[in-house]
Amino acid sequence: MSLPYALTAELTHRCPLRCPYCSNPRELERRDNELPTDVWLRVLEEAAGLGVVQLHLTGGEPLLRADIELLIERARSLGLFVNLITSGIGLTEARLRRLAEAGVDSLQLSLQAATPSLSDHIAGFQAFDRKRQAAALIRAAGLPLNMNVVLHRQNIGELEAIVELCLSWGASRLELANTQYYGWALANRESLMPTKEQLKAAEASFDDLKKRIGKQMELIWVIPDYYAELPKPCMGGWGRISLTVSPSGKVLPCPAASSIKALTFNSVRDRSLASIWSESVALNAFRGTDWMPEPCRSCDRRFEDFGGCRCQAYLLTGDARQTDPVCRQSPHHSLISDAVARVNEAATSVEAPPSYVYRG
Ligand code: SF4
Ligand code: FES
């Protein structure tokens, strides 16, 4: 069994934004069930003891937790690299100073689109101006600004404008992540999925932009797996290199896994991280290759993609043991190809923003 090098700490599911592509579960964990500070501090120590070197503080909106500076300070004293993932809402100059003093290494700011009106429509909240201010504060504090934009049918056509905007805000890295249809995003799949034509144009534009921008800003492209023929090695394999702790303390192989109702995930409230990592039935459920059904069991790619994404298999087939339906060899591949065909037939016009299904 390998050891994890990255921990995603979901400090809270509370969030001021209501993005329709949210990959957090449909049923969010409640505030009164969130882990208290002392348990998070223990989790950080146990993670470092397990070999974790990277900490991603996320949510929801992690800035809603008043103890975040304490957690950053402890993580840094344990030698962890600390990345804070935020919508930027609540990031004042004073808060940023405290985060910097605590030792945060990097901030990743999300953005929804290149223009305020579309950006705010997607976020379900007037967030654009505050994001612009947050970006300026981060740069003024001398911290690297990483940005993340989730791509979908409404914003994928403005790739160039998004890249130019992030450059003008001083970003050193921009992740362009095509939507993954987990959690809440699945409810909006038909409104979010880009057409084949849009995707082709965006891929060409991405290649041009990458050449043009060179080293000014690192550009990352996260593939749209509904248009792929082979699955991604999701999370680098189930319980192989990283782990997630949910706001209430559940230890998960990935943020989406709590949706898998057939599995019971142990909590850091009851057991140490190390014992959960090595002994938990849920984390062991899809390690290695013995659990695989055909066609994965006899496929040469099984050591590269680990049979794809367990959460996607569960969400689409109701059984996490199935081959990821993204794979062209999966007996359930039509669940993907039919959804893609439906979207490409229906989405003749992408002019007007669709009515998303928002949380709440
Ligand atoms: Fe991957 Fe399984 Fe498809 Fe082979 S059959 S490519 S191992 S998902
Ligand atoms: Fe959970 Fe892919 S998102 S295994």
Q: What is the pLDDT of residue 360?
A: 82
169 in a domain, yes or no? yes
Question: Each residue of 284-330: pLDDT tens digit?
Answer: 999 999 999 999 999 999 999 999 999 999 999 999 999 999 999 99
CA of 202 to the centre of ligand 1 (A): 27
Q: Which residues make Cβ contacts (< 8 Å) with residue 250, sequence separation at least 6?
A: 258, 265, 266, 267
Is residue 27 within 8 Å of residue 256, measured between CB atoms? no
Ligand 2 atom nearest 257 alpha carbon: 1
CATH of the domain at 119: 3.20.20.70
Using the atom order of ligand 2, give the atom closest to the CA of residue 254: 1
Q: What is the pTM of this model?
A: 0.94
Pocket of ligand 1 (CB under 6 A): 230-231, 295-296, 299, 301-302, 305, 307-308, 323-324, 327, 329
Range of the domain at 148: 6-227
Q: How far is the centre of ligand 1, averaged over its atoms, from the C-alpha of 322 (Å)? A: 10
Instruction: Please give the ipTM for the structure prediction.
Output: 0.90
Give residue-wise pLDDT tens across range 244-271: 999 999 999 999 999 999 999 999 999 9
- Ligand 1 centroid vs 330 CA: distance in angstroms? 8
Pick the atom of ligand 1 nearest to 299's CA.
4
Q: CA–CA separation, 219 vs 160, rounded Å?
A: 12
Sheet containing strand 145-151, edge to edge, reads: 218-222, 173-178, 145-151, 106-111, 81-86, 54-58, 6-10, 242-245, 251-252
Q: What count of other Cβ atoms lies within 10 Å of the Cβ of residue 350?
A: 15
Q: Is residue 173 part of a domain?
A: yes
Per the structure, how many domains does the chain have? 1
- Atom 7 in ligand 1: residue holding the nearest Cα: 302
| 15 belongs to an annotated ligand binding site | yes
Rounded to the nearest whole angstrom, what is the distance from the C-alpha of residue 31 to the centroid of ligand 1?
A: 39
Question: Are residues 16 and 131 in contact, defined by beta-carbon separation less than 8 angstroms?
Answer: no
Task: Indicate whether 36 belongs to any domain.
Answer: yes
Does ligand 2 lie within 6 Å of residue 263's CB atom?
Answer: no
Whether 235 is in the pocket of ligand 2, judged by its Cβ within 6 Å, is yes
10-residue averages of pLDDT along the chain (360 residues): 96 96 94 98 98 97 97 98 97 96 97 96 94 96 96 96 97 97 94 95 96 95 93 94 98 96 97 97 96 96 95 96 96 96 77 77
Digit-coded pLDDT (tens) for 141-159:
999 999 999 999 999 999 9
Backbone angles phi, psi at 266, to 5 degrees: -70, 160
Residue 142 falls within a domain, yes or no?
yes
Q: Is 302 exposed, middle or buried (0-12, 13-18, 19+ CB in 10 A)?
A: middle
Per-residue model confidence (pLDDT) at position 1? 83
Task: Report if residue 292 sits inside a domain.
Answer: no
The answer as to whether 218 is a domain residue is yes
On whether residue 131 sits in a domain, the answer given is yes
Quick check: is 123 in a domain? yes
